[in-house]
Structure 1
Amino acid sequence: MTNSRCYVLAAGGTGGHMVPAAALAAELIARGHHVALVSDDRGVRFPGLFDNIETHVLPAGRLAGGPIGYLKAMAKMMAGRSMARRLYKELRPAAVIGFGGYPAMPALLAAFRAGIPTIVHEQNAVLGRVNRFVAGKVDAIATSYEDVERLKPGWAAKTHLVGNPVREAVLALRDRPYPILEEDGIFRVLVTGGSQGATVLSQVVPDGLALLPVHFRRRLQVTHQARIEDIDAVRAKYQAHGIPADLSTYIADMPEALAWAHVVIARAGASTISELTAAGRPAILVPLPSATDDHQTANAREITAAGGARTIPQRAFTAPELAKQIQKLGLDTQGLENAAARARSCGRPHAVRDLADLVESIHAPTAPIHVRRAAMQGGRPAYA
């Protein structure tokens, strides 16, 4: 067992940043270490992820809004950096690990100033803006994909492919078989737009499913996560089409929803892709076109190339196109099972272990940083 150390995890307040940070926190705590989280107001209140972990809020501005907005953001980040340095004098962290998002910036800047080892983890297939800004100075870069855009060749020696950690309950689905789809049996569809839902899915999916042949439509059972402003209209559509559907604005037990589903219709955020590939579920992906650097399209490439998903650009995501793709999947039971296996082949089930290994290795400056490569198949008051 390693000596107990303190690690600070710094992450933006969205699910894409917070879920892998929570997975790493659980692993490090299981190894006997102390973990503290630095984030924004959203992050420290993220439901169910950091309930028993020391959390701190630091001010951080978003680098946008022209020169005046940029100056205001920098002023907030410098204030956050000063607060982080005071925090580090108390905690004495062995390393600071950033997961992206602007709230991670002041924590990393303070670590640079204090000479504390640093790592960034990139969940997407395009290096995010904050990670891109600090990548030249950090001690190691952990990636979720073999090919990551905006990653400079000069950083190759300190770049490690580990994958994107997922919750243990999702990872456990790898040991459960893909649900048997009997001929003329119930065909179960899960629709999710991520933590905030997606209006385009609510607009298109009910009408697309309604275009399926009657004998197929009668087999459908849908679980659909929708935005609160969309949910009544979506419910009315499913009722008008005679399609059984359970609707909610938040799916509390996503692992069980994934275990239940034969196919998933979703955005292509980092957490979604990592959970699909961990569980082995075929998908129809509709990348968010306004995502920074179009990173969702990049996220979808690996699983799509492997045959585990079909990607439809949002401009082409229409009811007829969705009906066509669903029918192709649903009428070929063996093909659907093959797609599930191909999605599973893209998973990196040891991501949290490999990331934790990298974190534990980072404070031995005289030793080379090493991490096992994942196989291709596989409450303290806030400082405010």
Structure 2
Amino acid sequence: MKVVIAGGGTGGHLFPGIAIAEAINERYPTAEILFISTKRAFDATHLTLNNFRFQPISSPPFSLKPTFPIIFLKALISSVKILKQYQPNILIGLGGFGSVPPILAAIIWKIPFVILEQNYVPGKANRLLARWSKGIYSQWAGARKFFVASGRKFIHSGSPLRNSMRIIDKNSARCQLGISPEKMTISIVGGSQGASALNTFMLSEAEHLRSFKDKIQIIHLTGKDYENTVRKAYSSNGIESYVQPFTNEMAIIYSATDLIISRAGGIALQEIAHYGIPAILIPYPFAAENHQLANAREVEKAGGAIVIEEKCLQKGTITKIAGEFLSDSIKFLEMGRAIQSFAPYNAKN
């Protein structure tokens, strides 16, 4: 069996593909898998790290620039050539602009394909291509309303998680990070590329969190450029912290965490749900069709998160919630159980 997995560019698109590839290898050891990825360094780094074959193509996001048709046509021609040479039995589209040229090439060669949708509000590419797919595997039950014409092809599967997303003993995880095993641990995670607005906000919030410096500690994944500045802000306020630009050991981060502050991308929410971590969600306000806010509101409705829109962030907000956590941990345990209802127990199947 030959499988092509198409898409990437961010963790939200690429990581489910890696999870699926792992599951295929476990179930069908002789299967051959090829990723058609974007040319972003992120894809090459993680596919190489996980020992998967890949061929990158220049997949441009939709644009009104006059060069877009030319670049897109090149990506389509590259995809047609790759599929002709590889001749897969099936193609799996991961959503996003990186999956469009390979899916169109699959339609040209009459290769069956399925698509994954990680967001409550589906991307335009997936909505357009769904009619030709053999299946739409969605993270959200409520996304069905966007695929009414697809009927039984729509499957609420959840999004698959990588094998590395194992649950570790909390004290062990904290020891591996070199932080206190006793203190309440707040993690700030901006996604695979960090989040400058969250970093900037926490620089000022550190001053307020100082009042709890003997009771809390911070794990903060900043993305590039902010690491030293953020670390200094916590240090100057006497707050114990673990600050890194990025990590490939998210299982340790999640396992060590009591309360998480995060954007609201689909895969980030599946991972948080898997670990049952109560969340403060600050959706990225410029996501296509504001899909992160829609994701966050679904989790909030279930009682698993507090949602704060970026425009509503005020100094002292996080400190106030941290104080509530310290005085009423039962409330946050209930939030953790509520968000766990979104965990994809059988998504790989």
Q: TM-score, normalised by structure 2?
A: 0.90
> Among residues 277, 283, 293, which one is paired with 1:297 in the alignment?
293
The structural deviation recorded for 1:61 is 2.5
The structural deviation recorded for 1:326 is 2.0
SS of the residue corresponding to residue 319 of structure 1 reads: coil
SS of the residue corresponding to residue 278 of structure 1 reads: helix
The structural deviation recorded for 1:228 is 2.9
- Report the counterpart of residue 100 of structure 1 in structure 2: 95
- Report the counterpart of residue 176 of structure 2 in structure 1: none
Q: Which ranges in structure 1 are unaligned for 5 or more consecutive residues?
A: 354-384
Q: Which has the higher contact order (CA 8 A, sep 6+)?
A: 1
Structure 1 residues 106-160: Cα deviation after superposition (integer angstroms, max 9, x where no partner): 1101110111111110111111122122122222111000112872321232111
- Report the counterpart of residue 121 of structure 1 in structure 2: 116
The structural deviation recorded for 1:213 is 7.7
Say how many residue pairs are matched: 338
The answer as to 2:86 corresponding to 1:86 is no
Distance 1:327 1:242, change over 3 A: same
- Report the counterpart of residue 155 of structure 1 in structure 2: 150
Work out whether residues 209 and 217 of structure 1, in 8 Å CA contact, stay in contact via their aligned partners in 2. Answer: no
The structural deviation recorded for 1:177 is 7.8
Work out whether residues 127 and 149 of structure 1, in 8 Å CA contact, stay in contact via their aligned partners in 2. Answer: no
Trace 1:27-66 onto structure 2 (pairs within 5 A).
27-32=23-28, 33-42=31-40, 44-47=43-46, 51-66=50-65
Trace 1:125-144 onto structure 2 (pairs within 5 A).
125-144=120-139
Determine the C-alpha separation between the residues in 2 that align with 1:114 and 1:197: 38
- Report the counterpart of residue 193 of structure 1 in structure 2: 190
Work out whether residues 132 and 150 of structure 1, in 8 Å CA contact, stay in contact via their aligned partners in 2. Answer: no
Determine the C-alpha separation between the residues in 2 that align with 1:230 and 1:113: 45
Q: TM-score, normalised by structure 1?
A: 0.82
Q: Which ranges in structure 2 are unaligned for 5 or more consecutive residues?
A: 173-180
Counterpart amino acid of residue 222 in structure 2: A
| Identity of matched residues, % | 25
Work out whether residues 41 and 57 of structure 1, in 8 Å CA contact, stay in contact via their aligned partners in 2. Answer: yes
The structural deviation recorded for 1:275 is 0.4
Trace 1:122-271 onto structure 2 (pairs within 5 A).
122-148=117-143, 151-170=146-165, 172-173=166-167, 185-212=182-209, 214=211, 216-271=212-267
SS of the residue corresponding to residue 83 of structure 1 reads: helix
SS of the residue corresponding to residue 303 of structure 2 reads: coil
- Report the counterpart of residue 319 of structure 2 in structure 1: 323
Work out whether residues 178 and 280 of structure 1, in 8 Å CA contact, stay in contact via their aligned partners in 2. Answer: no
SS of the residue corresponding to residue 136 of structure 1 reads: helix
Work out whether residues 14 and 43 of structure 2, in 8 Å CA contact, stay in contact via their aligned partners in 1. Answer: no
Determine the C-alpha separation between the residues in 1 that align with 2:134 and 2:154: 9
Distance 1:15 1:75, change over 3 A: same
Work out whether residues 258 and 277 of structure 2, in 8 Å CA contact, stay in contact via their aligned partners in 1. Answer: yes
SS of the residue corresponding to residue 70 of structure 2 reads: helix
Work out whether residues 8 and 36 of structure 1, in 8 Å CA contact, stay in contact via their aligned partners in 2. Answer: yes
Distance 1:12 1:74, change over 3 A: farther
Counterpart amino acid of residue 38 in structure 1: I
Determine the C-alpha separation between the residues in 1 that align with 2:257 and 2:314: 22
SS of the residue corresponding to residue 168 of structure 1 reads: coil
Work out whether residues 170 and 256 of structure 2, in 8 Å CA contact, stay in contact via their aligned partners in 1. Answer: no
